[in-house]
Chains A and B, each alone.
Chain A
Amino acid sequence: MRITNIMMSQNLLSNLEAVQTTVQKYQNQLASGKKINQPADDPVGTQLTLGLKGALSDNSQWQANASQGLSVLQTTNDTLQNMMQMLQRARTLAVEVNNGTFTAADRATTADEVQQIQQEVGSLANTQVGDMYIFSGTSSSQPWQGGANWTGNAGLVNIEVGKGEQIPINADFTGLFQGTGSIFNVLSGFVGDLKSNNLSGLQNDLQNIDNQVQSFTAKEAELGALTDRVQTVQKNLQQSSTNLSQNLSTVQDADVATVITQLTNAQNVYQAALSVGARYIQPSLADYMQ
């Protein structure tokens, strides 16, 4: 083939461009740390990346939901335990006042303390986590309005902790706080019996308070089971988040060692091309003619 001067310079230029494109590609990968910088770099990988990012975003939302749920459940548990202590105190009082040595005046004094207990249980029942009244179901208004007035409902508040997987973070507390068998009614009855010195009624009240203790213990167990469930889910979510991140990294992140090696290689080629070009473009016969 006849080689002409324009051919030489055109070839040199197009080869230099090709090498520069390679150098730029590796530089991009290094600078961004990603081997997919636009969909054309790896269409399948891009789709995978989008899917994995969506899954990671889901996962972190579920983790946030779970930890929020956990804090509600723990507060509920603590509050229930406080209420149990109040109930135990009320029970101690009920045992004491059933003692025949107690006078009517003593019982009236005790009534004040029981009333105090009822107040405290009521204010505990109005505990909030954020804007949520933890004992009021799905109702957003303050559930305990004094005395035995309870406006909470039995609705469950669910959090999503997986695709279509929902866990309630409260329970149906209407059994504890609403209606004739509620703690407020029991304590009110107790107060009434104390004030009226109704001895047979006081016997019943002791029984009622015992029943309350049992109901509270049962609810506590129910919440404990829920707490366990949320904690297990949280651990699983953390595990799968780690897996997803690893997968994402495998698909989209550049292997720095490989890329640096490839970049160095490409740069060497580029320098070789430049120095060869500089030598081979220059001379012609004209340089050697007298």
Chain B
Amino acid sequence: MPSTFFGLQIAANALAAQQAAVDVTGHNIANASNAAYTRELPNFVAATPYTFPSAGHYLTLGEGVNIGSVTRARDAFVDAQYRNQNSLLSYWTQQQDGLNKIQGIMNEPSDSSLASTLNTFWSDWSTLANNAQNSAARTTVQQQSVTLAEMFNQMSSQISALQTSYESAVSTGVAQVNSIAEQVSQLNVQINKAEAGGSNPNDLLDRRDALVDQLSQYYQVSVVQTQQGAVTHYEVQIGGKDLVNGANYNTLAFNPAANADVNWTGGKPVLAQDVSWASVTTPGGPAQPAVNAAVGSGDGSGGDTGSIKGNLDNLTKLAGLQKKYDDMAQGIADAVNQLQNQGIDMYGQAGGSGQSFFTYNTAASSQYSSQGAAASLQVNGSILHDPNKIAAADPSGGEITAGTASLQVGTTAYSVNVTAGETLASVLNALQKQVPGAFTYTISGNQVTINNTTDTTTPPSPQSISFGTGDTSNLWQIAGLQTVPPAPPASSVAPGHSAAGTITVAPSDIQSNGANAQSIADLQNSWSPLQFAGNTPVLPGGAAANSGNPVFAAVSVSDYYGALVSGIGVDGQQANNMETNQQTLVNSLSNQRQSVSGVSLDQEMTNMITYQKSYTAAARVVTMMDDMLNTLVTGMGITR
């Protein structure tokens, strides 16, 4: 038989339970705009019933209601999906950011870009070709060359600045990851204590989930939870290796080396410095990372997405870009230098008095530093000082008329047919083939030197090679030599005169010949004016060119640059599309998550009304019981 006051107890339980439920609702409403908050649900449980014997059998009476627990409305599966997609989104956001900045540096297509500067550069050479004596045309070429060099310097320094900023972005990201790992491990300790005490540390769980969400920006992470008795063991892994294991956590490190940041393998840059595990305190086992091992395995098992990977890929891309600008700067400089060296300047001197037009430094192939050709491209000081040293004239650029060029070796005459428009070099080449090994020649600046190699007398007689008197090829008009040469000095050759010596072209005869400048202008469309040794242009003074410079594999530097720009464009387009897709996916997953875990004010209001009405009703039960007890105490019995 239950006590007289049994009913009051039921009502009291109900009042307490409804009040607790309203508290939970209030907590939910208070956190309605907290995106990291997980909606909580009061779980009403009917109280353990009271059982007593009555009329020969047992009767069971309910004892009202209790709040069994307050649980979080959370879907761990959607969480895992959200984090995976979020790390992909961060990766593409960084890629998009990097490519946008690269496109900003390129500033293509516009009227102030490298492409338009190059166009102007080449056409200024063409103008010089038409006005070789004009000092304004010379100054224009000089100044436009300075502009071009500065353009390359600026590109290179902007790329370097971007590299520095992405390096620090990676470092900041790594510091964040380390800080989050520490916080998660501390939360693990607190949560486990609370769980051991039998309570629901819902808000701590929320904080931990929010931290792992944040972590998923930086790396693709996975969470492993194992139930150990009353407590849950919580691990956070990157690429299958523990970042946090219960109360222990590991840290990452990124130390960009000062100079050697890239290894070139197979023509592609590979960052020498990856993010690696720095200190490891988690327990041993397959999930324990090795110290100094790279984070993420590169096999797609994790660590290969997220903003840190995105920034590392940006660094790789920038290193490749720096190299391409270096190649272009070096290619242009090598090509112009070669032609400059073959030409004649306003003083009748060879190749700007034997000096290069452009100067540059080369960086070691392992470096992406700002020390390469693009960063150091400069117009040679002597040309800056005096634009008359630009070698616009071509000693072999004169027109040869059709006819026969002949050469006498000893008593034998050799002749070749010459077609109009051939150069001195091509005629001498043809003669050389007629008389194999008989003589060698070099054209350097305004001097043509012919050496006899057949005469083995010592010292070699200079009298054994001569040009035939029947020479009708106007060979002697080449480079402005006069039709009827004056009696040549001892070391010169002329029709009917002995060879083995030097032809010197009078400076005044070649200054207005801008053929060499035209050859340089022609580089705009093809490399054909250049002499190559293998796939490398021959450099003045036998200097070693960048062997296998890919610029020379393209039709022209514009062609190479066009491919570079459109390559960046394709990458940028992909990054834009991927970012948009990924954003949509993350939004949809975030919606799914909010659908489960978010607070709906309508729902909370409805619940509140339910709880409020239940509370009022329970209070009515108390009043009712009071009335009943009043009847019992005051209205009944013999004392009245």
Contact = CB atoms under 8 A, between A and B. Distances in A.
Most chain B CB within 10 A, of A39, A46, A64, A136, is at: A39
A39 B576 CA distance: 12
Contacts of A53: 109, 115-116, 119
A281 B512 CA distance: 79
Interface stretch (B77-85, B248-256, B519-527): B519-527
Contact of B561 (A14, A42, A50): A50
Nearest to A289: B605
B481 interface: yes
Contact of A40 (B32, B398, B576): B576
Give the secondary structure class of B's interface. Answer: helix
B601 A43 contact: no
B605 A4 contact: no
Interface in B473-489: 474, 477, 479-484
Interface of B: 32-33, 35, 39, 99-100, 103-104, 106, 108-109, 115-116, 119-120, 122-123, 126-127, 129-131, 133-134, 398-399, 474, 477, 479-484, 508-515, 518, 521-522, 524-525, 558, 561-563, 565-573, 575-576, 583, 587, 590-591, 594-596, 598-603, 605-606, 609
B108 to A, nearest CB: 6
Interface in A168-211: 168, 174, 178-179
Given A38-B100, A41-B573, A53-B109, 9 more contacts: A3-B595, A7-B598, A46-B569, A50-B562, A53-B119, A54-B119, A65-B130, A140-B133, A160-B521
B605 A286 contact: yes
A138 B103 contact: no
A279 interface: no
A2 B605 contact: no
A178 B130 CA distance: 25
Contacts of A157: 512-514
B115 A155 contact: no
A43 B605 CA distance: 54
B602 A39 contact: no
A155 B477 contact: yes
Contact of A38 (B108, B126, B518): B108
Contact of A158 (B39, B120, B515): B515
B568 A132 contact: no
B399 A47 contact: no
Contacts of A140: 133, 508-509, 511-512
Contacts of A4: 39, 594-595, 598-600
Interface string A1-26: 11111110011001000000000000
Given A40-B573, A61-B123, A138 B480 contact: yes
18 contacts: A5-B601, A6-B594, A39-B106, A39-B109, A39-B566, A41-B569, A46-B109, A46-B569, A50-B108, A54-B558, A60-B123, A154-B482, A155-B480, A160-B522, A164-B522, A284-B601, A284-B602, A289-B609
A158 B573 contact: no
Task: Give me the 10 closest cross-chain CB pairs, A-B, nearest first.
Answer: A39-B569, A40-B572, A4-B598, A43-B569, A57-B119, A285-B605, A61-B123, A140-B511, A47-B566, A284-B601
A153 B600 contact: no
Nearest to A40: B572
B126 A44 contact: no
B587 A11 contact: yes
A131 to B, nearest CB: 4
A275 to B, nearest CB: 22
B565 A39 contact: yes
A90 B420 CA distance: 37
A193 to B, nearest CB: 26
B16 to A, nearest CB: 24
Contacts of A156: 398-399
B564 to A, nearest CB: 10
A159 interface: yes
B508 A139 contact: yes
B512 A131 contact: yes
B558 A50 contact: yes
B509 to A, nearest CB: 5
Interface string A42-80: 111011011101100110110011001100000000000
A160 B129 CA distance: 9
Contacts of A136: 512
Contacts of A141: 508
A138 B512 contact: yes
B562 A47 contact: yes
A163 B526 CA distance: 10
B96 to A, nearest CB: 9
B573 A57 contact: no
A50 B398 contact: no
Given A47-B562, A132-B512, A178-B483, A155 B600 contact: no
B45 to A, nearest CB: 24
A252 interface: yes
A64 B137 CA distance: 13
Contacts of A154: 474, 477, 482-483
A130 interface: yes
Contacts of A122: none
A231 to B, nearest CB: 17
A138 B393 CA distance: 10
A139 B133 CA distance: 10
A138 B126 CA distance: 17
Most chain B CB within 10 A, of A7, A40, A139, A178, is at: A40
B347 to A, nearest CB: 12
Given A46-B566, A138-B509, A153 B482 contact: yes
Nearest to A61: B123
A36 interface: yes
Contacts of B32: 5-6
Contact of B594 (A10, A42, A166): A10
A57 B568 CA distance: 24
A40 B583 contact: no
A38 to B, nearest CB: 4
Most chain B CB within 10 A, of A68, A138, A166, A289, is at: A138
A2 to B, nearest CB: 5
Given A4-B600, A5-B599, A139-B512, A252 B594 contact: no
Contacts of A39: 103, 106, 108-109, 565-566, 568-569, 572
Contacts of A160: 126, 129, 518, 521-522
B30 to A, nearest CB: 13
Contacts of A50: 108-109, 115, 558, 561-562, 565
B134 to A, nearest CB: 5
A58 B116 CA distance: 11
B518 to A, nearest CB: 6
Nearest to A14: B587
Contacts of B99: 40
A164 B483 CA distance: 27
A285 B602 contact: yes
A163 B561 CA distance: 20
A160 B122 CA distance: 13
Nearest to B598: A4
